[in-house]
Amino acid sequence: MPKRLISKIKDLISSNGSHQPKARVIGSSEHGFRPETLNPNAVTVIETLTAAGHEAYLVGGCIRDSLLGKTPKDFDVATSAHPEEIKALFRNCRLIGRRFRLAHVRFGREIIEVATFRGCHSKAGSNDKHQSSQSAQGMLLRDNVFGTLEEDALRRDFTANALYYRHSDGAIIDYVNGFDDIQNHTLRLIGDPEQRYKEDPVRMLRAIRFAAKLGFKMTASTEKPIIEHAELLGHIPPARLFEEIQKLFLSGAAENVWRLLKQFDIAPWLFPNSTPDSNPNPAYQAMIDQIMINTDLRIAQGKPVTPAFLFAVMLWGPLMQRWEQVKASGVPPVPAMQQAIQYTISDQIKFTSIPKRFVIPLREIWELQLKLPRRNGQRANRTLEHPRFRAAYDLLLLRESADETTPGLGEWWTQYQEADAATRKAMVEQQQSQSPQGKRRRGHRRRPRRRNSNSNSNSNSKNSQARQNNPG
């Protein structure tokens, strides 16, 4: 049964292109992989596993990126050793995952991910749900059937990610013609695309990420089922989709990613209230387009990007819609903003989770938008000293760049940050004199309440009587 399934997968691969089912061994003089890019900790893992009698190879993105002339970031190892055998060899190892069992070998702050060769699901017994199980929609709930190197290659998602580097002689092993696909900048899903997307709908997001990040063109068979099966993302846990969103938008190709998410009608399954269909306001769409450009620029410059700010921009349009609705019901602006924030976050986490460590700064960035126009007295200084001021200020500039009405506010805060104490004081005084609040007449002080004369008389009489009764 396993051989028949492997043969079927090979036939499907061949039907999608001119792939050869037999392994192609590409020598170091031919492939151009740069040994100097090898991670020494990954090499240590491979050498330890092979010394113990196991097969072990570098696999996936590190091989692909090196062949493309990029500097690899993540080094993954594929091995014939089972998770418990890996753990026995490394004191610094931790086993993780239930759906997909992995070993993390830690070297200080760095983690080398080690995975056992995956096999065909027909190897698992029909009653062994601990190894393999699927949902009614065909989604893999557990994928812990172990196999051979060849089976592992056929279980991977894209041909470009299915190359194995053999450290002993520097050769690359290719079962699915991934080497040629990398040279041709082609993104090809291994096996039957519909079945593979149903097994794990997140593969659709990975296809978009790789196409956007690497500049690869999807084959027709890889591309076509994405629009047809986008709704399968509704079966993915929101926490996993949040992790995928970070990979999508923080990979340095956010602008292309957002374009492809809209093109393939996947955006509504990630940000249902932020797409042009659900929120057609051109100002809000312009803000989203600009944050994608800015994010790519910051990534290219090696600067950090927090998901809290990304969500603050992506959900600004839905937040403003909610805010107007709540205010229309008679709620004052500030409480209305609090309610709108809660509604907006509650709507979003039905699709993608937002961890608490990001929800708190997200709320603060939004709340500061109401405080930025209020600059009288010490308010400007207090706002400037707020930990989220810089992110709130950046959101303000995005709002202005999208022609949202905040006349001169961004420029005022830009100058205020750069000014000395005396200039800041003068700016506040000038702004205060020009604002309606600054021109408002101060109300009269409340007149002290008059004491009741009868009460005073009664009190004095009682005190006098008390002195008479207590002469000492």
- Rounded CA separation 338/208 (Å): 35
Tell me, what's the pLDDT at 132? Answer: 53
Residue 28 included in any domain: yes
205 plus 260 within the same structural domain: no
159 plus 288 within the same structural domain: no
- Measured between alpha carbons, how far is residue 22 from residues 10, 151, 176, 196 in Å? 9, 12, 8, 22
Q: Which of 76, 152, 181, 296 is catalytic?
A: 76
293 plus 385 within the same structural domain: yes
Neighbours of 472 (CB within 10 A): 2
CB 140 within 8 A of CB 200: yes
Phi-psi map region of 454: left, alpha, beta (phi>0 left; psi -120 to 50 alpha): alpha
- Rounded CA separation 67/34 (Å): 8
Task: Write out the residue range of the structural domain in which residue 214 sits.
Answer: 192-235
Question: What radius of gyration, in Å, describes the C-alpha atoms of the chain?
Answer: 32
CATH code, domain carrying 353:
1.10.3090.10
278 SS3 class? coil
Residue 63 included in any domain: yes
350 plus 295 within the same structural domain: yes
- Rounded CA separation 264/248 (Å): 14
Residue 349 included in any domain: yes
210 plus 112 within the same structural domain: no
CA atoms within a 13 Å half-sphere pointing along the CA-CB vector of 90: 27
326 plus 361 within the same structural domain: yes
Residue 284 included in any domain: yes
DSSP designation for 230: G
306 plus 415 within the same structural domain: yes
- Rounded CA separation 431/425 (Å): 10
- Rounded CA separation 293/239 (Å): 26
Measured CA angle at 265 (ends 351, 358), to 5 deg: 30
29 plus 161 within the same structural domain: yes
Tell me, what's the pLDDT at 63? Answer: 94
Tell me, what's the pLDDT at 141? Answer: 59
Tell me, what's the pLDDT at 22? Answer: 86
180 plus 206 within the same structural domain: no
Residue 12 included in any domain: no
- Rounded CA separation 46/53 (Å): 11
- Rounded CA separation 255/207 (Å): 15
Residue 318 included in any domain: yes
Q: Which of 74, 180, 265, 289 is catalytic?
A: 74
Extract the residue ranges of the chain whose pLDDT is less than 70.
1-21, 121-143, 435-472
The per-residue pLDDT for range 130-140, each reduced to its tens digit, is 455 555 556 66
CATH code, domain carrying 48:
3.30.460.10
296 is catalytic: no
CB 170 within 8 A of CB 28: yes
Residue 47 included in any domain: yes
Q: Which of 157, 181, 192, 296 is catalytic?
A: 157
Residue 435 included in any domain: no
Tell me, what's the pLDDT at 452? Answer: 55
Give the long-range contacts of residues 175-181, CB within 8 A, separation 24 or more.
Answer: 175/21, 175/22, 175/23, 175/24, 175/150, 176/13, 176/19, 177/13, 177/17, 177/18, 177/19, 177/20, 177/24, 178/64, 179/24, 179/26, 179/31, 179/67, 181/17
Total structural domains within the chain: 3
- Rounded CA separation 369/389 (Å): 10
The per-residue pLDDT for range 7-23, each reduced to its tens digit, is 455 444 444 444 445 89
157 is catalytic: yes
